[in-house]
Amino acid sequence: MLSTKLCGIKLDNPTILASGILGVTASSLINAANNGAGAVTTKSISLEERKGHSNPVIVTFEGGMINAVGLSSPGIENGIEEVKEFKKRSKTPIIASIFASKTAEFGEAAKRISEAKPDLIEVNISCPNVEAEFGKLFAADAKVAASVTEIVKNSTKIPVFVKLSPNVSNIKEIAKAVEAAGADGITAVNTAGPGMVIDIKTAKPILHNKMGGISGAALRPIAVRCVYDIYETVKIPIIGTGGITNGRDAVEMLMAGATAVGIGSGVYYRGIDVFKKVCSEIEEFMKKEGYKNLKEIIGKAHEN
């Protein structure tokens, strides 16, 4: 009832552990899979080892969560090992997230991570937390986003999803550009903002990076709108990510046009078994409303 397909890869259910959450090690990814995730995504892996920002890296507020982990990564060799280890121990599809600071390096990272044979590669061109380091987002410019996509596509035979940022004036334009450049799918969206929380007693921003990407409830309506816009523009599948914590949120995202849904901060709000919970809630809704499969739901909000 809940199965779905992304570029020919079958998922038992549409919930995917989003990148950046519990994704540092194979063991942790397997823990998410054992708790019901239909697929899992690694934390973004870079060629070089990176420590990320100092703590605090995550803070929550009434409307969700703000994070600036700063793309910590054990480096490509260790990243390959973790993906291989996951493949050895689990049948759940794994998406390897990669990022780089230069366009050419994305190709190298894609080529290297392909050695571990992940089921999909997700290209993170939209992390808002390292702008000071890397300058403008790759995802903010259609031409740049397309050229990263093209380089990655030329470096691997594994299907490539490009993760877009909601912090752009016209996401349709970016989506169209990455599709034209050969992307096999789109993950929408990365965190919004960036936002900031200041401690008023010390008058200091709490996050060490001062600002960070917003996820959770505040991001959800923005993510739904982005997915809705992208679905109208491209033919490739979309992983809809942003503030999904329950079955209702997941169904909403599917109706906007997502083929599968990413869950990240939901792990904090409902525990690591959030995947199982969301799945049973989707199923309950489908039975009540008479839906037989996800195909009947995906993109339904676009019908007049």
Structural contact between residues 7 and 159, judged by C-beta atoms closer than 8 angstroms: yes
Q: Does 60 bind another protein (CB under 8 A)?
A: yes
30 binds another protein (CB under 8 A): yes
- Closest distance to another protein from the beta carbon of 200 (Å): 9
Considering the complex, state which of residue 49 and residue 296 has its C-beta at the smaller distance from another protein.
Answer: 49
Pattern 174-213, another protein, x by CB under 8 A: -----------------------x-x-xx-xxx-x-----
d(CA 140, CA 239): 19
Where does this chain touch another protein (CB under 8 A) — which range of 71-79, 174-182, 233-241, 281-289? 71-79
295 φψ region: left (φ > 0), alpha (ψ -120 to 50), beta (else)? alpha
Enumerate the active-site residues: 127
Work out how close the CB of 205 gets to another protein at its nearest, in angstroms, rounded to a whole number.
8
Nearer to another protein, 51 or 157 (CB): 51
- Beta strands 160-164 and 238-241: pairing type? unpaired
State the Cα–Cα distance between residues 58 and 169, nearest whole angstrom.
26
Is 221 a binding residue for another protein by CB under 8 A? The answer is: no
Nearest C-alpha neighbor of 68 from the set 54, 88, 81: 54
Residue 72 makes contact with another protein by CB under 8 A: yes
Exposed e or buried b for every residue in 248-287, given b needs 16+ CB within 10 A? ebbbbbbbbbbbbbbbbbbbbbbebebbbbbbebbeeebe
Binding site for another protein (CB under 8 A): 21-32, 43, 49-52, 54-62, 69, 72-75, 78, 89, 197, 199, 201-202, 204-206, 208, 264-265, 267-268, 272
